[in-house]
C-alpha cells in the first residue's frame, strides 16, 4: 500500500514520541483505533468532503480522540491546524510499519489457490525468514486463478511458486524462443 | 508467416527441456497512475534505470524516473491494458534490441520486432544488446580518412563525407532531405556489389522517427526497386507509434549499427529526423513531470542528441586489442542525422544544438529547390569540417576550385541583376557559374559513381563547356559519360585505381569533351 512521504513523516514523529514518553502501548492502540475508524468509507468521505466546514471536522476529531492519550489528542489537533487531515486514512498503515520495524518484522501476503492452514503459513514464514532476515507475519488470500501453489509478496518483493506463474514464465520463454534460419 | 508444425514442435521440445523452473525473487510494485503512455509505480525497490518492466497483460515499460516514493516509466505498448492497482514486475534486463546480420533487409520497430511480415528474426539471446551503450573512447578512435561516397555530385565534390563522420542534413520540409538519404543508401551498392557478406559493403540503417507510415513504405519500396534492401535495415517508429518508441528508435538503430562497426564493418546510419525525436522526447518527459526548459524541452535535450551522435566513430586498427567489446578494428559508423527546420530558421533551438554537435551540415534550401536546382544544396552555408581529409586526391584536385567559382558566381549574380554593362572577367565568371550549377544538378535515385563525377566536374571546371548551351548540358553529360565509358574505359578505371587523375587522362578527357561537343553542334 502506498503511503505519501508526508504521512510517513507525521507517523514517524508520533511513533518516536510515543517511545520517548513511554506511552507506546496506549498510542499504538489509539492509532490502531483511528485506523479502524478510517477504514469506514463514510468516515473517509466525511473528512475528505470540502463542503464540511473545517471547524465541524475539528469537533468530530476531538470527539474521536476523546478517549485517546494526551499525545494522540495533540497529534490530531496539530493535523487539524496544519490542514493535514488528508493523511489520516493512511496513518495507521504508515505507523504500523514503524511498529513492525521496531519488532524486526515485516508483513506479507500469501496468495494461494486454496485456503492455507495456520500451520502452512507458519511453515512458509520460516522458509522465507533467511531471505528477508526478519520475522514475517503472513496473511492468506485465496486466489483461484493461481490454479495451484502459492505466491508470496513481502515488501515489494515477490516469490512466485504458483502454477499460473510457472505457466506465464513458460509462455514468456516460448514467445522469446527464436526460429533458426535454415 | 511461414511456419512448419514440425519446426514449432522441435522448438517447444527444446524450450521445455531447458525450462528454468526455479522460482526467483522478483521486485514488484503497484501502478499508481497510468495515462498518456506513462505510468507511475509504487514499490519496485531495486529497479534499475532503463530497466524493462513487465505490466499485466504483457505490456512492457521502461523505468525512466527513479524517485523517492515512486518510479516513473513509459509504456511500450497498449496503455489501455494497464489499470491502476495492477502489479508490475522487474525483469532485471536493461532495454535491448536484437542485432546482427539477421536484421539486414528487414523492417523493424524501435524494439527490433519485425514489421515486414517476413517472419521472426533468426537471432539468439546473445544478439540482444542494450540500446544505450558508451561511445568509443579517445584511444579507440582514429581520424576520419576514408570517403563515404553519397553519389551526389554537389556533396561528394564540395561537402565530402568521411566514414565515421557526423554530417547533418538540414532543411525545410519538401527540400529533398529524405531523397538525399535514399540516394546515399542506393550508392553504397557500389562499395560491395550489394552483397552484405562482402566485408567492403557499407551497411545502411535508416531510422524513421515520427514519419508518416506512407513515407516509410515509399522508402522501403524505393530501396527494394534499387536492390538496396539486402544491406539495409529500416527501423520505423512512425507517427502512430507511442512517443516513447519514437525517441528510443534512434538508440535502438544505433546499437544495431554498432554491432557491425565493432566487427570491423563500415556502417552509415540515418536518423530521419531528430527534430521529431526531440518532440517525442519532450512529450514523454513533460508527462513524467521533468522540469521544462527552453521551448519546453527538458534540460537534457542536448545530451539526448550528443550522446547519440557521439556513438558515430571511426575505430582505430587496434581498437580490438585493448577492449574485448570490439571483435575487429578499423570499422566505422557514419551518422547522417536529419533536422527539419521551420521557414529556413537554422537558429532555432534543436537545429543549433545538432549543428554544434555534428562535423558539418548540408543545408537544403526551398528557394533553390523551387528554382529547379536539385539536389537543393546551398553550397555557401554547407560545410564538412572533417570530410576534406577523406576525399580522394583526384576529386580534391578537380573540385578544388569549384567552391570558389560558385561563391563568386553567387556574389556576382546579385550584382548582375542591377547593371547591364559587365566587364569580360565578370561575364566569364557568371557563365562558368551557370554551367557549373547546371552540371551539379542531378535526378533522384540516380547516384553517380565517383569516377564519373570527377569527369563531369573536370568538364565544367576546365572551362571547355563555357560556350556550350546551358539547357543542353544534362544531355551532354549523359552523352559524354557514355562516350568515355565506351571509347576510353581505362580513364575511369585509372581514377579508381590510383585515386588520382594523370595528365594523360586529362588530355583524353579534353579530347572526349571536344568530340562529344561536336555531336551536339551538328
Pairing relationship of beta strands B87-94 and B96-98 according to DSSP bridges: unpaired
- Whether B472 and B459 map to the same domain: the answer is yes
Chain B residues with CB-CB distance to A159 below 8 A: 23-26
Indicate whether B4 belongs to any domain: no
Indicate whether B7 belongs to any domain: no
As a whole number of angstroms, the distance between CA B4 and CA A180 comes to 12
> ipTM value of the model?
0.72
CATH number, domain containing residue B405 = 1.20.150.20
CATH number, domain containing residue B306 = 3.40.50.300
Highest mean pLDDT, choosing among A130-134, B58-62, B436-440 = B436-440
Indicate whether B14 belongs to any domain: no
Mean pLDDT of chain B: 91
- Give the nearest chain B residue to A156 (CA atoms): B28
Q: Which domains does chain A have, with CATH numbers?
A: 5-101 (1.10.520.20), 104-176 (3.40.30)
> Can you give the pLDDT at residue B190?
92
Indicate whether B9 belongs to any domain: no
Q: Is 70 exceeded by the pLDDT of residue B312?
A: yes
Q: Tens digits of per-residue pLDDT, B201-216?
A: 999 999 999 999 999 9
- Whether B425 and B352 map to the same domain: the answer is no
- Whether B247 and B344 map to the same domain: the answer is yes
CATH number, domain containing residue B80 = 2.40.30.20
- Whether B368 and B461 map to the same domain: the answer is no
Interface residues of B toward A, Cβ cutoff 8 Å, are 3, 7, 11-12, 14-16, 19-21, 23-30, 32, 42-45, 68-70, 87, 89, 102, 119-125
Q: Tens digits of per-residue pLDDT, B113-135?
A: 999 989 888 888 889 999 999 99
- Give the nearest chain B residue to A155 (CA atoms): B43
Domain boundary among B391, B420, B445: B391
CB contact under 8 A, A131 and B7: no
> Can you give the pLDDT at residue B314?
96
- Give the nearest chain B residue to A154 (CA atoms): B28
> Can you give the pLDDT at residue B404?
86
- Whether B377 and B414 map to the same domain: the answer is no
Nearest-neighbour CA in chain B from A148: distance (Å): 14
Q: Is 90 exceeded by the pLDDT of residue A163?
A: no
Pairing relationship of beta strands B128-130 and B87-94 according to DSSP bridges: unpaired
Q: If pLDDT is split at 50, 70 and 90, which confidence band does A168 have?
A: confident
Q: Tens digits of per-residue pLDDT, B476-505?
A: 999 999 999 999 999 999 999 999 999 999
Q: pLDDT over 90 for what percent of chain A?
A: 20
CB contact under 8 A, A159 and B42: no
Q: Is 60 exceeded by the pLDDT of residue A128?
A: yes
CB contact under 8 A, A156 and B123: no
As a whole number of angstroms, the distance between CA B270 and CA B480 comes to 33
CB B48 within 8 A of CB B94: yes
> Can you give the pLDDT at residue B425?
87
Chain B residues with CB-CB distance to A158 below 8 A: 25-28, 87, 89
CB A25 within 8 A of CB A111: no
Q: pLDDT over 90 for what percent of chain B?
A: 78
Closest CA to B361 of B153, B166, B188, B177: B166
Per the document, the length of chain A is 182
> Cell numbers at residue A24, please?
507506546
Q: pLDDT over 70 for what percent of chain B?
A: 97
Q: How many domains does chain B have?
A: 3
CB contact under 8 A, B21 and A166: yes
Q: Tens digits of per-residue pLDDT, B216-261?
A: 999 999 999 999 999 999 999 999 999 999 999 999 999 999 999 9
- The H or E element containing residue A41 is helix A41-48
What are the backbone angles phi and psi of residue A40, rounded to the nearest 5°?
Answer: -75, 120
- Whether B201 and B321 map to the same domain: the answer is yes
Is the bond leading into B294 cis (omega within 30 degrees of zero)? no
Pairing relationship of beta strands B96-98 and B203-209 according to DSSP bridges: unpaired
Going by C-beta distance under 8 Å and a sequence separation of 6 or more, which residues neighbour residue B224?
Answer: none
- Whether B498 and B439 map to the same domain: the answer is yes
> Cell numbers at residue B392, please?
580522394
Indicate whether B15 belongs to any domain: no
CB A71 within 8 A of CB A23: yes
Domain boundary among B33, B65, B94: B94
- Give the nearest chain B residue to A165 (CA atoms): B23
> Can you give the pLDDT at residue B21?
58
- Whether B294 and B230 map to the same domain: the answer is yes
CB B350 within 8 A of CB B274: yes
> Can you give the pLDDT at residue B424?
87
- Whether B373 and B505 map to the same domain: the answer is no
- Candidate from A130-134, B79-83, B171-175 with smallest mean pLDDT: A130-134
Beta-bridge partner residues of B28:
B89
Q: Which residues of B are catalytic?
A: 385
Beta-bridge partner residues of B75:
B61
As a whole number of angstroms, the distance between CA B223 and CA B92 comes to 38
CB contact under 8 A, B29 and A170: no
Chain B residues with CB-CB distance to A173 below 8 A: 15, 19-20
CB contact under 8 A, B69 and A4: yes
Full domain range(s) for residue B49: 25-94
Indicate whether B18 belongs to any domain: no
Indicate whether B17 belongs to any domain: no
Q: If pLDDT is split at 50, 70 and 90, which confidence band does A176 have?
A: low
- Whether B225 and B312 map to the same domain: the answer is yes
Tally the C-alpha atoms within 13 A of residue A17's C-alpha that lie toward its C-beta: 15
Indicate whether B11 belongs to any domain: no
> Can you give the pLDDT at residue A175?
65
> CB-based burial of residue B85 (10 Å sphere; 0-12 exposed, 13-18 middle, 19+ buried)?
exposed
Domain boundary among B365, B391, B417: B391
The CA-to-CA distance between both ends of chain B, in Å, stands at 60
CB B477 within 8 A of CB B438: no
- Whether B384 and B444 map to the same domain: the answer is no
As a whole number of angstroms, the distance between CA B202 and CA B187 comes to 10
Compute the average pLDDT of residues B399-419: 84
Q: Tens digits of per-residue pLDDT, A64-104?
A: 888 889 999 999 999 989 888 888 888 998 999 899 988 88
- Whether B130 and B272 map to the same domain: the answer is yes
Amino acid at each position: 500500500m502506498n503511503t505519501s512521504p508526508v504521512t510517513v513523516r507525521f507517523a514517524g514523529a508520533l511513533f518516536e514520541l510515543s517511545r520517548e514518553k513511554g506511552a507506546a502501548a496506549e498510542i499504538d492502540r489509539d492509532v490502531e483505533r483511528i485506523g479502524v475508524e478510517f477504514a469506514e468509507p463514510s468516515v473517509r468521505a466525511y473528512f475528505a468532503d470540502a463542503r464540511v466546514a473545517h471547524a465541524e471536522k475539528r469537533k468530530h476529531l476531538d470527539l474521536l480522540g476523546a478517549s485517546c492519550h494526551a499525545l494522540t489528542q495533540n497529534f490530531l489537533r496539530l493535523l487539524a491546524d496544519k490542514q493535514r487531515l488528508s493523511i489520516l486514512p493512511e496513518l495507521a498503515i504508515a505507523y504500523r510499519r514503524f511498529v513492525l520495524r521496531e519488532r524486526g518484522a515485516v508483513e506479507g501476503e500469501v496468495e494461494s489457490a486454496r485456503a492455507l492452514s495456520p500451520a502452512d503459513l507458519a511453515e512458509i514464514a520460516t522458509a522465507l525468514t533467511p531471505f528477508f532476515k526478519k520475522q514475517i507475519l503472513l496473511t492468506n488470500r485465496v486466489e483461484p486463478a493461481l490454479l495451484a501453489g502459492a505466491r508470496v509478496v513481502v515488501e515489494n518483493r515477490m516469490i512466485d511458486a504458483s502454477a499460473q506463474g510457472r505457466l506465464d514464465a513458460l509462455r514468456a520463454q516460448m514467445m522469446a524462443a527464436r526460429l533458426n534460419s535454415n | 508467416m511461414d511456419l512448419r508444425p514440425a519446426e514449432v514442435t522441435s522448438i517447444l521440445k527444446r524450450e521445455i527441456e531447458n525450462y528454468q523452473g526455479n522460482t526467483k525473487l522478483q521486485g514488484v510494485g503497484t501502478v499508481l497512475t497510468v495515462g498518456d503512455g506513462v505510468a507511475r509505480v509504487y514499490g519496485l525497490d531495486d529497479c534499475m534505470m532503463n530497466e524493462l518492466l513487465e505490466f499485466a497483460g504483457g505490456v512492457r515499460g521502461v523505468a525512466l524516473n527513479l524517485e523517492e516514493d515512486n518510479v516513473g516509466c513509459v509504456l511500450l505498448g497498449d496503455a489501455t491494458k494497464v489499470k491502476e492497482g495492477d502489479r508490475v514486475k522487474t525483469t532485471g534486463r536493461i532495454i535491448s534490441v536484437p542485432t546482427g546480420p539477421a536484421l539486414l533487409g528487414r523492417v523493424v520497430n524501435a524494439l527490433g520486432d519485425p514489421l515486414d511480415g517476413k517472419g521472426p528474426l533468426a537471432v539468439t539471446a546473445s544478439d540482444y544488446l542494450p540500446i544505450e551503450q558508451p561511445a568509443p573512447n579517445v584511444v579507440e578512435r582514429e581520424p576520419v580518412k576514408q570517403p563515404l561516397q553519397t553519389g551526389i555530385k554537389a556533396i561528394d565534390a564540395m561537402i565530402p563525407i568521411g566514414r565515421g563522420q557526423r554530417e547533418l542534413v538540414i532543411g525545410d520540409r519538401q527540400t529533398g532531405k529524405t531523397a538525399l538519404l535514399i540516394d546515399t543508401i542506393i550508392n553504397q551498392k557500389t562499395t560491395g556489389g550489394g552483397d552484405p557478406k562482402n566485408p567492403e559493403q557499407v551497411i545502411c540503417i535508416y531510422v524513421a522517427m515520427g514519419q508518416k507510415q506512407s513515407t516509410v513504405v515509399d522508402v522501403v519500396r524505393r530501396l527494394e526497386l534499387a536492390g538496396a534492401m539486402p544491406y539495409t535495415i529500416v527501423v520505423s517508429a512512425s507517427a502512430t507509434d507511442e512517443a516513447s518508441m519514437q525517441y528510443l528508435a534512434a538508440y535502438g538503430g544505433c546499437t544495431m549499427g554498432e554491432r557491425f562497426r565493432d566487427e570491423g564493418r563500415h556502417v552509415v546510419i540515418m536518423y530521419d529526423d531528430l527534430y521529431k525525436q526531440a518532440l517525442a522526447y519532450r512529450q514523454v518527459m513533460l508527462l513524467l513531470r521533468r522540469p521544462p526548459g527552453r521551448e519546453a524541452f527538458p534540460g537534457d535535450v542536448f545530451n539526448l542528441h550528443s550522446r547519440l551522435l557521439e556513438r558515430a566513430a571511426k575505430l582505430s586498427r587496434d581498437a580490438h586489442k585493448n577492449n574485448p567489446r570490439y571483435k575487429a578494428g578499423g570499422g566505422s559508423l557514419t551518422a547522417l542525422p536529419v533536422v527539419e527546420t521551420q521557414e529556413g530558421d537554422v537558429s532555432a533551438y534543436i537545429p543549433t544544438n545538432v549543428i554544434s554537435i555534428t562535423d558539418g551540415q548540408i543545408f537544403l534550401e526551398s528557394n533553390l529547390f523551387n528554382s529547379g536546382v536539385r539536389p537543393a544544396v546551398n553550397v555557401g552555408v554547407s560545410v564538412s569540417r572533417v570530410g576534406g581529409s577523406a576525399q580522394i586526391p583526384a576529386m580534391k584536385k578537380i573540385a578544388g576550385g569549384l567552391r570558389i567559382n560558385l561563391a563568386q558566381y553567387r556574389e556576382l549574380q546579385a550584382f548582375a541583376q542591377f547593371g547591364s554593362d559587365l566587364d569580360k572577367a565578370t561575364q566569364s565568371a557568371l557563365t562558368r557559374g551557370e554551367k557549373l550549377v547546371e552540371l551539379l544538378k542531378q535526378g533522384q535515385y540516380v547516384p553517380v559513381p565517383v569516377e564519373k563525377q570527377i569527369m563531369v566536374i573536370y568538364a565544367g571546371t576546365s572551362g571547355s563547356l563555357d560556350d556550350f548551351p546551358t539547357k543542353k548540358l544534362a544531355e551532354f553529360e549523359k552523352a559524354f559519360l557514355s562516350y568515355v565509358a565506351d571509347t576510353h574505359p581505362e580513364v575511369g578505371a585509372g581514377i579508381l585505381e590510383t585515386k588520382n587523375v594523370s595528365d594523360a587522362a586529362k588530355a583524353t578527357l579534353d579530347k572526349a569533351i571536344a568530340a562529344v561537343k561536336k555531336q551536339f553542334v551538328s
